[in-house]
Structure 1
Amino acid sequence: MDAQAVVDELRRIGVETARAEVKDAAGGCPTSVRETLSAFANTNGGTVLLGVDYTSLQPVDIDAPRIRDALAGMAANDMTPPVRGEISIEQIDGDHPVVVMEVPEIAPEEKPCYITTRGKYGGSFTRVDEGDRRLTDYEVDRLTEQRTQPTYDREPVPDATVDDLDPTAVAALITHMQQRQPRAFAGLDTGSCLRRLNVVCLDHGILRPTLAGLLTFGTYPQQFHPQLGMSVVVHPTVVSGDTGAMGERFTDNQTVDGSLAEMVERALEILVRHMSRASVVEAHGRTDRLEYPLGVVRELLVNAVMHRDYSPGARGTQVQVELFPDRLVVRSPGGFYGPVDPTRFGQPDVSSSRNTVLARLLSESPTSDGRMLAENRGSGIPTIFRQLNRAGMLPPDFDGNLTRVQVTVPHHALMTPEVLDWISSLGQEGLSQHQTQALALLHAGRPVRNQTLQNWGAHPNDATRALGDLVHRGLVLRTGGRRGAQYLLDPGYEAPHRRRARTDRQEVALTALEREGELTSHAIADLLEVSYVTAVNELNALIDQGLVEATAPPRSRNRRYRPR
């Protein structure tokens, strides 16, 4: 985006944005620009404009070449790693020069970008709305750990011993591993098996459970880490903190502890107890369905405890589960780990494990029903999408920052009668099931990507063709590059039946309705200077074209007309 376009946009909204920063630089290149360079490099990139007053957003007189050179020096010499952005001098408002720098986001393995003289913990910033905020030590650590594989789950738990492990669960694990990999585990004693699996390790000559081993097989891990549990809250209203009809703040509020498997099962029991049920008649008879598919809820809980941050700075934070009347929310400490882009969830290569030992143990630990708690094959997220799609529900929303990941599952059907009527009103024939689902999701205000259709079972090539056809039909617009392409509804689309030739009277009536909102048939008759019957006929023609709707039955005295 050029400088004039950036300034025009800032003037339109009246404030800086998360992607644009202006400074007057009347006295030279301000040193505070280094904070913005760090913030943009650590977040999503952005544009720096020097020579524009922050308050009035009007240009100021600057020595543009000198400021350009000073900015280039700051970016190259004052930052670690150096910020490599394009710097130029452009004109705004006719002939006023400004210095512009396009700051790219740096690669995850290079973060954090910081002001060298302040050090990593004092000079790292992030962009929040229109301002720069210094990263906390915890956030800096999360960025730094992207460069290596975290090993917190391998650490020994001080004061814990092998006696703090559940002998029944341990025996089941060893039996399972000896059967599955006899060459590696046959003939080994219990201690040697557990050490090979990283369930325990030597700590100054004493055999102690690792954090992963204690969480998976411990009789009560919270004896050593009281906050490594899960809170489950059921809200009476859609707004957290609002009270219900009886003045209650919570319908249920429990802290769940024990091993990870016990926490998942207990949390699931609490949620199921508060979920509504619907009786559905199918080919084999009547069945009861919960408002959220059980497999989806279980997968979300397992993902939360398996992929959360277990570093010392996060061990005081629980996994939080909240059930609202309109949504289910699962929140876990720590951001996304590794090269994970939530917009590409579901693709085969989008999987990264922060806690490799824990993930392995959970995938090798038989539960009471004989199945493993986790698969550890990157199949969890695709399973969630598929099950929600089969249930006719909206897909989940993934949101994350450096301190937490939040997954929200809306309690809304995707293909409601209203949505189907809207799709029908588009006047398009031959839409495939995936195209219909994509339009429904767009109608709900959610963007659609190629991966969205793949998560619903479409082959990548079929997904590309389906979305390309929607673009060709004029229904959607494609934005973004090849890897980041997303599709949005085209606000300029007009259905074929709406493009039919209309009479002059109909055009005048439609324009008046769009201007006024609602009018009576008598008002339309006066406007058109025709009889009441003629006005009603013109309005009925607009109704048949799907452009106008009536607010009441034909003989009602309250009947008015409004645009659809």
Structure 2
Amino acid sequence: MKVTELIKQSEGRRLEFKAKLPAVSDIAKTIVAFANDAGGELFIGIRDEPRELVGIKEDSLIRLEEQISNIIHEHCYPVIIPDISVHTIEGAYLIRVQVYRGSNLPYFLKEKGKTKGTYIRVGSTNRLADSEIIAELERQKRNISFDSEPVHEIVLKDLNIEPFKLFYKEKAGDELNSGSLKKLDLIREYHGNWLAVNALVLFSDSPVREQIFPYAKIECARFKGTTSHEFIDKKTITGNISVQPEIAYEFILRHINKGAAVKGVYTESRWEYPVIAIREVIRNAVVHRDYSLVGKDIKVAVYDDMVEITSPGKLMPSIDFSQMEARQSDIRNRIIAPVFKKLGIIDQWGNGLKLISDEMKAYPEIEFRWQETGLQFQVQFVRREIQQQQELQQNLDVLWQQVSTKLGLSWHQVGTKLAPSWHQVEKLLDFCSGPRYMKEIMSELGWKDRTKFRKKYINPLLETGIIYMTDPEDVKNPKQQYYISEKGKLLLIGIQTNI
């Protein structure tokens, strides 16, 4: 992406702006966090809030470049080699520090050490990594996944995988014996003994699974309205992970509607939400969640206005949801994912996002949203109509307050020469659907005193942006006319609804 486009983006996982060179520790934390995560870019010479191109003095550029390079060299470990460049935008000089994801994880502040100096990127902030995250970074360095690690506390013969064996036989058509367990890397030899790996424990139905992974579950809820204050229904799915996606999917189907849609000369049944995309998101949540994060479960929530799925773990570094059409693939759980593929739960690598994108095209009334919230990834399927109604009401509430304050209005008030009413405001706005002269508006509302009318009606409505002038540059233009704004149209709808 070009620099001119980048600097218009919001701060986030891969992007940060600073008006001037930050403190040594702050810049070092950002560089370390970028290297531990998906890489990123730091721009110096841009204020973030409010966004402003402040620039850097030309005679300071070389000194600042050297200073940044020295800070990274002296305070970050292992070695991080950034790309530092100078750019000119609208006559202002900027410094761009580009950091790539490192291969020698974890990176940390030298003076703090690995335990107290490892930082990761969470949204637009740098967060100190705890022992679990540091362990995950070290696994990534060794190119191994958490689900492939052996569990020493369990004797393999005591692990109940019979239900999983039956399910595997039904879906994959193969027997799950010691040979296939080895081939699938679900068991691993350690000092002459065969041990189950974390993935096999997650596929089991033994009580020990809930002891080791009590959070490997899906919490489902149907809430009343658009907030999480009141449950209508809820379900906790604690079975082995191979059956969890379908149960969660069925929960959603129970709480959304299926109607009829006309297609050509035929009438077809159609869910109110894109259920194929929803099913894919749930499956991905189970397959790609971070099982190393303690105390975090998958959450499926159905509201009046949306379906929401939240999964523990950030997006893998190479995945970009804004490029859903591209066939992207980056596997966190390298043992679980191939098993799910054999079970037919997931399709070919990289097809999931494309499948979601394709179905969303058939649902223009549904907005697909995604975000990283802390160490979780959240997807929402939002009904635009209800969201727009809520936003409309919120905007109306603000307008009520603004206009009521300016004009001294209340709903029970009868309009007089001293105090206007909402009925009179409605009449004025409706009359000004097209440009009107002051004398026309006064005549419509039965006023003769031009000065008082301007003071009580016109000026307050202009100040709140409810009406506009045809010639705002010349307020005293004798041909000046007034017309309703988009904000005014919104207010008019609200008045008519309430009246």
Indicate which of 30, 35, 49 corresponds to 2:29: 35
Partner residue in 1 for 2:116: 122
Query: Which residue of the partner structure matches residue 331 of structure 1?
Result: 310
SS in 2 for 1:316: coil
Select 1:377's aligned residue among 330, 345, 349: 349
| Residue aligned with 1:260, SS | coil
State the match for 1:293 in structure 2.
274
2:223/2:301 contact within 8 Å kept: yes
Partner letter of residue 353 of structure 2?
I
User: 5+ unaligned residues in a row in structure 2: which ranges?
Assistant: 9-14, 47-53, 389-434, 442-458, 470-474
1:319·1:333 contact (CA, 8 Å) conserved in 2?
yes
Residue deviations 1:181-207 (CA, integer Å, cap 9, x gap)? xxxx9xxx9322322223334455554
Gaps of 5+ in 1: 10-16, 51-56, 180-184, 244-248, 366-371, 417-502, 559-564
CA distance in 2, matches of 1:48, 1:334: 30
Cα 1:203/1:286, change in 2 over 3 Å:
farther
Alpha carbons of 1:549 and 1:69: their partners in 2 closer, same or farther (altered >3 Å)? closer
Amino acid at match of 2:281: L
Higher relative contact order (CA 8 A, sep 6+): 2
Is the 8 Å Cα contact of residues 87 and 96 (structure 2) preserved in structure 1? no
Shift of 1:155: 3.0
SS for the counterpart of 1:228 is coil
Question: Could you say which residue in structure 2 is the equivalent of 1:389?
Answer: 361
Q: State whether structure 2 residue 219 is matched by structure 1 residue 231.
A: yes
CA contact 2:123–2:373 (8 Å) conserved in 1:
no
Cα deviation code 1:345-382 (max 9, x no counterpart): 3312x1111112211111222xxxxxx22224222221
Shift of 1:407: 1.4
Is the contact made by 1:174 and 1:190 (CA closer than 8 Å) also made in structure 2? no
Q: How far apart are residue 230 of structure 1 and its match?
A: 0.9
Tell me how far 1:76 sits from its aligned partner: 2.5
Among 240, 244, 254, the residue aligned to 1:259: 240
CA contact (8 A) 1:156 1:209 kept: yes
Q: Structure 2 CA distance, aligned partners of 1:216 and 1:131?
A: 35
Q: What is the match of residue 96 of structure 2? A: 102
Distance in 2, Cα, partners of 1:207 & 1:336: 33
Counterpart of 1:449 in structure 2 is none
* CA apart distance, 1:342: 2.2
Contact 1:37 1:83 in 2 (8 A): no
Partner Cα separation in structure 2 for residue 130 and residue 375 of structure 1: 33
Q: In the alignment, does 2:24 pair up with 1:46?
A: no
1:149 counterpart = 2:166: no
Q: Is it true that 1:73 corresponds to 2:70 in the alignment?
A: yes
Residue-pair matches, total: 401
Give the AA of the match of 2:325.
G
Structure 2 Cα separation of the partners of residues 48 and 309 of structure 1: 34
Is 1:200 the equivalent of 2:179?
no
Once the two structures are superposed, residues 189-242 of structure 1 have per-residue CA deviations (whole angstroms, 9 ceiling, x without a partner) of 9322322223334455554443323333546643542221111122223234xx
Normalising by structure 1, we get a TM-score of: 0.57
Structure-2 separation of matches of 1:78 and 1:233: 47
Q: What amino acid is the match of 1:237?
A: G
1:302 aligns with 2:283: yes
Q: CA deviation at 1:131?
A: 6.5
Measured in 1, the distance between the counterparts of 2:476 and 2:436 equals 12
Question: Which residue identity lines up with residue 213 of structure 2 in the other structure?
Answer: H
Residues 358-409 of structure 1: CA deviation (Å, up to 9, x unaligned): 11111222xxxxxx22224222221122222223344522323772221122
Instruction: Decide which of 321, 336, 340 is 1:362's aligned counterpart.
Output: 340
- Give the superposed CA RMSD: 5.1
Cα-to-partner distance string for 1:288-319 (whole Å, 9 max, x where unaligned): 433223322221111001011122xx143211
Residue number in structure 1 paired with 2:384: 412
**Tell me, what secondary structure is at the counterpart of 1:104?**
strand
Letter in 1 for 2:336: L
Number of the residue aligned with 1:442:
none
Q: Which residue of 1 aligns with 2:165?
A: 170
- 1:150-172 residue CA offsets vs partner (Å, 9 max, x unmatched): 33222334325345444364256
- Aligned mates of 2:335, 2:99 — CA distance in 1: 31
Query: 1:89 and 1:298 mapped to 2: Cα distance?
Result: 45
Amino acid at match of 2:218: M
Matched ranges for 1:333-348 at <5 A: 333-348=312-327
Partner of 1:320: 299
Task: State the TM-score, normalizing by the size of structure 2.
Answer: 0.63
Q: Is the 8 A contact 2:45 2:55 kept in 1?
A: no
The 2-side partners of 1:120 and 1:520 are apart by 61
**8 Å contact kept, 2:202–2:213:** no
Indicate conservation of the 8 Å contact 1:86/1:101, yes or no.
yes
Q: Could you tell me which amino acid in structure 2 is paired with residue 123 of structure 1?
A: G
How far is the alpha carbon of 1:70 from its aligned partner?
4.8
Query: Which position in structure 2 is the counterpart of 1:22?
Result: 20
Distance 1:160 1:254, change over 3 A: farther
